[in-house]
Structure formats: C-alpha cells, structure tokens
C-alpha cells in the first residue's frame, strides 16, 4: 500500500479545539469516536479516496491532537500519495507519541520495506513482534522472514516462518513461504511436509491454489518422481493460470525434458 502529507497537517492541527464545550458526553464517547474516525480514514485510504480519508483523520485529531494512531494513519495517507518524506515524518511522530502502537509500527516497517531499507524495516518489525497481545502477530513474523530474505539471511527467514506457524498453524502465507524457501535450499523432504500442510489448509478452507503453490507442487513432484501429482498440478496450473509466469516456466521445463 502507498500513502502522503504536511500542509494538510498544519490545517488540521490548527483546527483542533480543546475547550470544555465538547460534543461528547464523556471520555468513553470520545474514545469510541476517535477510533471510528481513524478506522474510517484507513478504509478510505484503501479505497484511494484521499479527501474523505483526510477529513476523518482530521476529525480524529480534533478529538486527540496527540493520537499516535491518527499520526500513523496520516503516514499511510502520505505514503499512498508518494510523499515519502512526509510519510516518514508522521510515522516517526506516531512512534514518539506511543512506542506501544504496534499497528502503527507495522505501518512504518512496511513503509521502510517498500523503500528497500530492509535492515531498518527488520528492526521495526522485530519491535512490533514483541507485542504478544497483538492479534496479527503471525503476519509480523512473515514480514520479518521477508526482510531476512532480502538481506540474504535464509536461516533466519526459516526461523521467522516457523515462529509465524507456531502462532498460527494454518497461516497459508507462512506455509507457502517456508515451503518455497526449503525447496530452494534443497531440503525437499522438509519442504514437502510444510507443503502438505498447506494443501490440507487449502482443501479444508475452500481456498484455491495460487500459481506459486501449484508450481511448488510441481517442483516437489518432479523431485520425488511422482508423475501423477506433477500432471495433476500442471493441469490445474494450465486451467487456472495459463498466462502466469509459473505456467510459462513449466512449459519451458517440459520442452527440455
């Protein structure tokens, strides 16, 4: 996801009102409204409706001008609009206001990853991963694995995927990630074990194979000389993803057999 910021921040901060004439009956109402505005802002960012996103985040800051979550949302907004300096400024502001804002820290870490600042991204994801109460902690460790891969640290990437799966045994992204990495490292038996788990998740959840997961199945089937499975995965790949890079790879592979 991309996002933006500065002159806008000056406008919304200058519009903040801190008088006793509050439209909210109590602090609980204020807190609920604050979270609702932030969530609306994030939803509008996802839809690329930046004006409505800006409006709702601005309303959140009118309620709490020191809201770490609102500043993190602003960081996303600026990132989406390719205002990278402003995005980073507001991510850092969010962290300075609340170092325990784990969701905001993952936003910042993802921003750094997209800037190809992988070591810095890894550091932020690792800090976020310390929050044992965070509901999407498994995803954080998948992202940690991705950082390690970019840094050429494959063994650490495997450990990060294993941690993600310790937190969520049926996490499909972690299963496909560790399967692919183990296959690349020549650990086909271990890769097959994780791949089988992924296939079971796909079957039980009604998910559809991706082109990547089918290609991994083909690689494993060829390694273990299982022509039946290779043919089955190849037919699915041709049917579902005939224009995919994976299918073109398979065609090239077969032409050289």
Answer whether residue 9 is part of any domain. Answer: yes
Q: Are residues 73 and 13 part of one domain?
A: yes
Model pLDDT, residue 27: 61
Residue 136 and residue 78 share a domain: no
Mean pLDDT, the chain, rounded, equals: 90
pLDDT tens track for 146-194: 999 999 999 999 999 999 999 999 999 999 999 999 999 999 999 999 9
Q: Does the residue 84 lie in any domain?
A: yes
Structural domain boundaries, residue 157: 117-168
The structural domain count of the chain equals 2
Confidence grade of residue 26 (pLDDT, cut at 50, 70, 90): low
Q: What is the pTM of this model?
A: 0.84
Residues 88 and 126 in one domain: no
Region of poorest pLDDT, from 49-53, 89-93, 237-241, 252-256 = 252-256
What CATH code is carried by the domain that includes residue 91?
A: 1.25.40.10
- Model confidence band, residue 13 (pLDDT cutoffs 50, 70, 90): very low
Torsion of CA 105, 111, 114, 117, to 10 degrees: -70
Looking at the structure, tell me whether residues 1 and 65 fall in a common domain: yes
Does 188 reside within a domain?
no
* 60 and 144 belong to one structural domain: no
Higher per-residue pLDDT: 52 or 29 = 52
End position of a domain, from candidates 65, 98, 131: 98
Same structural domain, 45 and 132: no
């Amino acid at each position: 996801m991309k996002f933006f910021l500065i002159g806008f921040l000056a406008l919304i901060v200058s519009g903040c009102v801190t008088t006793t004439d509050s439209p909210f009956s109590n602090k609980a109402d204020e807190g609920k409204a604050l979270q609702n505005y932030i969530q609306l802002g994030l939803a509008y960012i996802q839809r690329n409706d930046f004006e409505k996103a800006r409006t709702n985040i601005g309303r959140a800051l009118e309620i709490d001008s020191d809201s770490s979550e609102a500043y993190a949302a602003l960081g996303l907004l600026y990132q989406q609009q390719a205002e990278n300096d402003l995005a980073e400024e507001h991510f850092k502001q969010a962290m300075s206001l609340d170092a325990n804002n784990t969701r905001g820290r993952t936003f910042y870490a993802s921003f750094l990853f997209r800037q190809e600042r992988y070591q810095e991204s890894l550091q932020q994801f690792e800090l976020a991963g310390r929050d044992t109460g965070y509901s999407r902690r498994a995803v954080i460790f998948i992202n940690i694995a991705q950082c390690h891969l970019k840094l050429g640290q494959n063994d650490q990437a495997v450990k990060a995927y294993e941690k993600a799966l310790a937190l969520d045994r049926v996490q499909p992204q972690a299963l496909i990630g560790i399967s692919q990495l183990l296959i690349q490292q020549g650990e086909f038996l271990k890769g097959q074990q994780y791949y089988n788990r992924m296939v079971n998740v796909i079957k039980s959840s009604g998910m559809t194979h991706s082109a990547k997961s089918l290609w991994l199945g083909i690689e494993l089937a060829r390694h273990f000389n299982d022509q039946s499975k290779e043919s089955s995965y190849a037919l699915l790949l041709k049917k579902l993803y005939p224009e995919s890079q994976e299918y073109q790879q398979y065609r090239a592979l077969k032409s050289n057999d």
